[in-house]
Amino acid sequence: MNRRPTVVAVRLLTAAGMTALLASTACKPKAGGSCSGTAAVCTDKASALFCADGAFTPIACRGEKGCVQTGTVVDCDESIASEQDPCNAPDAIACAPDHKEALRCTDKRFVLDETCKGPTGCKIDGSQKISCDNDIADVNDPCHFLGDYACTTDKSLVMKCEGNKMTPHNTCRGPKQCKIVQSAKQERPDFSCDDSIAQDGDACDTNGEEACTMDRKGMYVCRGNKFGSVKPCAGGCIYDEKTDRYTCKDTEDGGAPSPAPAPVLPKRHGRR
């Protein structure tokens, strides 16, 4: 897999396994049964019962280590979980079974914390650190780091983390689409976005920048961070990558292009 290892952002993870003492009881514990203190018991290799608020609560132990009981000590590996699975360790983090999501224990249930749709997905290492490849995401996916960037699944849009949700930042409908790139000199990745062509209403990050229409018969201008105000180009809209200039030809026979002011250079790379 051609992928730089530094792309994956490492997040600290609370211990995937929970440890508690099994309370002595004459009856076999059951879900919902009364309990006290830190009572716990493995019910099979992949599940356990933990005492919470005076009642035994079932906990899934989907991680590789499963549920292990040594004497009176119970260890439940919660590193793999599904949404709405019960949990007993506030703010514990787990990966979803398909490794495309990171989940957080909130109000005693695992809920979606961040999507990990990049090639390396969600992983938890031996030191209980989680890595979530969030370089690929979709609009409104949850995110944590304000100003963080991601490409959509179809690579037609670069998004920015705002208000803990991925929001449209700049369209990338050009041939080179959206990419997350890493330079050896940079600690954090940048994005590369080819916005040489666009559709009406597409997001843009620099007011005044231009883009050709999809059929290249017109030219858009970014206003209010959206591409619109199309200018007809009967002879075609041409983008010169070397000079980063757009030319709008007025006639189909290739007549003289419309005079244009010095271009506003689009922000094709954004610092993370």
Domain for residue 155, yes or no? Answer: no
Q: What is the dihedral of CA 208, 214, 216, 217, to 10 degrees?
A: -90
Domain for residue 142, yes or no? Answer: no
Domain for residue 97, yes or no? Answer: no
Domain for residue 261, yes or no? Answer: yes
User: Which DSSP state fits 7?
Assistant: G
Give the bridge partners for 75, in sequence order: 19, 68
Cα dihedral sign for 193, 198, 203, 209? positive
pTM for the structure as a whole:
0.72
Domain for residue 5, yes or no? Answer: no
Cα 206 to Cα 244: distance, rounded to the nearest angstrom: 14
CA-based radius of gyration for the chain: 26
Q: Give first-to-last CA distance, the chain, whole Å.
A: 23
pLDDT along the chain (272 residues), means of 10: 29 36 57 85 91 88 91 88 88 92 92 93 84 93 88 95 93 94 68 94 94 95 93 93 88 54 41 30
Res 181: pLDDT: 80
Q: Give the closest residue to 155 by CA, choosing from 178, 121, 182.
A: 178
Res 229: pLDDT: 87
Domain hosting residue 223, numbered range: 197-271
Cα 16 to Cα 89: distance, rounded to the nearest angstrom: 9
Q: Which of 77, 103, 119 is the last residue of a domain?
A: 77
Q: Which of 59, 77, 95 is the last residue of a domain?
A: 77
Cα 155 to Cα 206: distance, rounded to the nearest angstrom: 19
Cα 48 to Cα 73: distance, rounded to the nearest angstrom: 12
Measure CA 206 to chain center.
24
Q: Give the closest residue to 210 by CA, choosing from 164, 245, 186, 165.
A: 245
Domain count, the chain: 2
Q: Which of 77, 95, 127 is the last residue of a domain?
A: 77
Domain for residue 21, yes or no? Answer: yes
**Other CB atoms within 10 A of residue 53 CB:** 7
**Which pair of tokens denotes residue 100?**
């495309």
Res 252: pLDDT: 65
Domain for residue 25, yes or no? Answer: yes
SS3 129: strand
